[in-house]
Amino acid sequence: MSPRRPSSSRPHPLPRRCSTRRGRPERRPRPRHARRPPRGRGCGTSRCSGSPRRPTRASGEVSLVSRACDAVRRPGGRARYRAHSTNWLDGEPCGASDQLLRWTARERRETSPAHISVRARDCCRWVLRPDLRARPVRVKRVELAVMRAPLAFVSVVAWAVAATPHLPAQDLARSRQTAIVTAATRLAPAVVSVNVLRRQRRLPQDPFDLFFTPRGSEQVVEGYGSGFIISPDGVVITNQHVTQGAEQIVVTTRDGRDFPATIQGEDPLTDIAVLKVDGSNLPTAPLGKSTDLMIGEWVVAVGNPFAYLLGNSEPTVTAGVVSAVGRNLLPSEGQSGIYVGMIQTDAAINPGNSGGPLANALGEVVGVNSSIFTSSGGSVGIGFAIPIERALRVADELRRFGKVRRAWVGLDVAGAEDLRGWKQAGGLRVTQVAVGGPAGRAGLVTGDVLISALGRRLRTFLDWEAVMLDTGPGDTLVVSYRHAGGTRSVRLAVTDFPTTLAEKVAVLGGMKVVTVTGSVRAERNIQSDHGALIYDLPDEMEDATGLRSGDVILQINRVRISTAEDLRRAFSATAGAGAVTVWFERAGRLGRTAFYVR
């Protein structure tokens, strides 16, 4: 039976998208699978007129009947229906398309296009702009494909066919203002570049230098690093290895101003140095805390890598995440500092970043960049920062006393030879307890196993060193330990080192010695039960005498030394009497040296 020709004499057009140009529909690219129906073939319903029905101006609505009746019949029983809907007031679909899609496959097979249009018309309308003649401002399209097969397959594709409006300029600027941008803007004004000049002994570079380089000759070398201002009057925190041996220090601010700086104090053990510049109303870095850092949160490292080689004093900002906290780095050869309890980050830290701040996403300083693991000399994503709490405590000690007072509780723990011993012991083994010290008075004995301190798990001696670095004299340390099969908890009164509290006796002009006592022996791990410990010794006296700070002088010629006063009298008696032979203990071994006393 031949198909019935629609009432209209014009051929049935393909569905077209509404155009904003009056009276001229815009052609849509025809899909490859679509075929033009024979001329004059409609959908076969009494409502279909064979062409899209123009909307009526009086009602202000567009009926979906004609759109739903624009069906393209294809061989094989597949039908494609199109329904257009929008709401001009809020720019969102009115919901008619969702209603069409919620019908079951059976309902779609049994429902004619005319019925689909009636259901859509009941809940979906196009709201028209009053100055346009029945034209929608925005068009949403929902395509509903029904396949007559043993298993019905429904494919739904929805998208906006109108051009997406451009974001306002203020929205684009707001989207660029990320947390990293905010942190860098807040912190960068307080970051400075630290340039130092120091003298180094010139070493031969080739065989010819052995003949033409004077012995002991020195050369002036330039070093650089970073720092940040913590007070408006010009107090700067940086790394000690940046300022070590410096003869001249110049601090350069972000705006290019140069300030001569002086060293207020250095602490090689924690790798912290404090500088002072003559300035006022200088920008300061906001200070945060590292105790609540979360693994994976954003951090920024700010500094001046390669200093002037980058052309200006604008600090460099690199971003990364907190890779780990509480990292302990095993000491390496020639390393004077103890890097324990460190913050690990993958933010790029390069030469010149040392001493610069590591900040959280709020722009608050949480650490001081100090070291990296690298095989090439540059950043490989493994950098470490000193916790800000430790840096501030050390800086305060240096400013108040010129040195850092160390915490002492009167016990020693297993060292590097027992790094894996905690797995069997369940903690850190106590190897020695000083008689009369805080730990001895609290009841700890040799052989006890420390479990935790300051809320931190103790496994190796590096964990214990981190606790000691973050504790100062006068604090109270809560320690959990295992004794005789049971777990106990005690509060230890932290004091200063016995050598610090002991009376100092000056000999030979610049040498300072203290008497060896039980507490001093426990502190310095001295084997001898008598002698005088060298507490401080100038560099020039080290070269002249062969002695070192920390040596214990046991005997002068044939005179036994028991106290610091004995040593002073012995040196006075041998002045101008020829060479003096000194017997001493160094790192548990017996040594001897000879020199003249004038």
Task: State the catalytic residues.
Answer: 241, 271, 354
**What is the Cα 565 distance to its own chain's centre?**
53
- Cα separation of 261 and 235, whole Å? 10
- Cα separation of 127 and 367, whole Å? 60
∠ Cα 524 527 533 (to 5°): 50
Cβ–Cβ under 8 Å, residues 567 and 513: yes
- Residue whose entry in the numeric block shows the structure tokens 């496959």: 105
Cβ–Cβ under 8 Å, residues 366 and 359: yes
Which residues lie across from 188 on neighbouring strands? none
Which residues lie across from 478 on neighbouring strands? 491
Which residues lie across from 479 on neighbouring strands? 453, 490
∠ Cα 488 491 493 (to 5°): 145
216-250 burial: b if 16+ Cβ within 10 Å, else e: eeeeeeebbbbbbbbeeebbbbbbbbbbbebeebb
- Cα separation of 422 and 429, whole Å? 8
**What is the Cα 84 distance to its own chain's centre?**
52
Cβ–Cβ under 8 Å, residues 429 and 421: yes
φ, ψ dihedrals at 477, nearest 5°: -110, 120
3-class state of residue 504 by DSSP: coil
In this structure, what token pair is assigned to residue 125?
């309308």
3-class state of residue 13 by DSSP: coil
- Cα separation of 517 and 22, whole Å? 105
The length of the chain, given as a count of residues: 598
Phi-psi region of 439 (alpha: psi -120 to 50; beta: other; left: phi over 0): alpha
